[in-house]
Amino acid sequence: MTEFLQSIDWQAILPFIAIGFAAQIVDGALGMAFGVITSTLLVSVMGVPPARASASVHMVELFTTGASGISHILHRNVDWKLFARIAIPGVIGGVLGAYVLGSVDSSVARPFVMTYLTGIGFYLLYKALTYPSEPPVKDPRLVTPLGLVGGFLDASGGGGWGPVVTSNLLIQGSDPRKTVGTVNTAEFVLTLAISITFIATVGLHAFTLVTAGLLIGGVAAAPFGAWFAKKIPAKTLLLLVGIVLTATSFFSLYKAIG
């Protein structure tokens, strides 16, 4: 074990650990953006080829979502009734998305999805600025379609579960802390189903230095994200979700049509 640790080029792997840590802090606290942040930084800053970056992110998410889910459960951030309502359709949508990935060009639909999410981000910013001190928490009604669409986009488009599901549940009046914790925990089940489907249809991707760094940083950050979600006031949490969603969606839209 000692020889293995000494053989690792820590100077080369540290940037990827930092990227994984930072992205998971945001994702664990706000319920979205791990894939977007890591993919953007890997490709645009570190110069990692897009295909390799996508493979690394999907592999790492299987572990980070598990660690994040456990942390949210321990911090009592999970609404188990809502969990069942989004996890089951999410898995169905994710498996379907993984199967059709090879035959459907998701890049065609991506600009439209990003435009929609940018608009949702601006609306969440408005909601945060007008958020009452003691808002009534509503039971979201539109849940199953969100799970299906979010799971499908996550598998076929390389991301979308958090932005689609978290943002729309918040718009319906769901409790921000419970929403973030529940969506994060359900994402582990979704990622597991998608990963199994990809392994069965495509095969295992190589475990690279990039993957190892993201994995170390992401798993280390998972408990902190859940803690932040529990401690940040609902109005602030809603504002942060709106900022992150607007920024990442607008950037993805720019990349898609640029």
> What's the pLDDT score for residue 215?
87
CB atoms within 10 A of CB 13: 17
Average pLDDT over residues 215-223: 87
CA distance 30 to 244: 8
Flag the least confident range among 52-66, 107-121, 137-151, 226-240: 107-121
What is the arithmetic mean of pLDDT over 217-228?
Answer: 84
Q: What is the pLDDT of residue 163?
A: 78
On whether the CB atoms of residues 140 and 174 are closer than 8 A, the answer is yes
Whether residue 1 is predicted with pLDDT greater than 50 in this model: the reply is no
Using a pLDDT cut of 90, give the percent of the chain over it: 11
CB atoms within 10 A of CB 194: 27
State mean pLDDT over 196-218: 73
* 67 Cβ contact partners less than 8 Å away, ≥ 6 residues apart: 218, 219, 222, 223
What is the structure's pLDDT at 206?
46
> What pLDDT score does 4 carry?
46
106-134: average pLDDT? 69
Distances (CA, A) of 188 to 12, 48, 153, 181: 29, 25, 15, 12
Mean pLDDT of 182-194: 87
Average pLDDT, the chain: 78
Average pLDDT for 110-115: 68
Q: What is the pLDDT of residues 7-60, one digit of tens each?
A: 566 777 898 899 889 888 888 877 777 777 787 777 767 777 665 666 677 778
Give the tens place of pLDDT for each residue, 125-160. Answer: 777 777 666 666 788 888 999 899 888 877 765 567
pLDDT band at 236 (very low <50, low <70, confident <90, very high): confident
Evaluate if residue 103 carries a pLDDT over 60. Answer: no
List pLDDT tens digits, range 51-97: 566 667 777 888 888 888 888 898 899 999 999 999 999 999 988 87
Residues 109, 10: Cα–Cα separation, whole Å:
40
Q: Specify the pLDDT at position 81.
A: 93
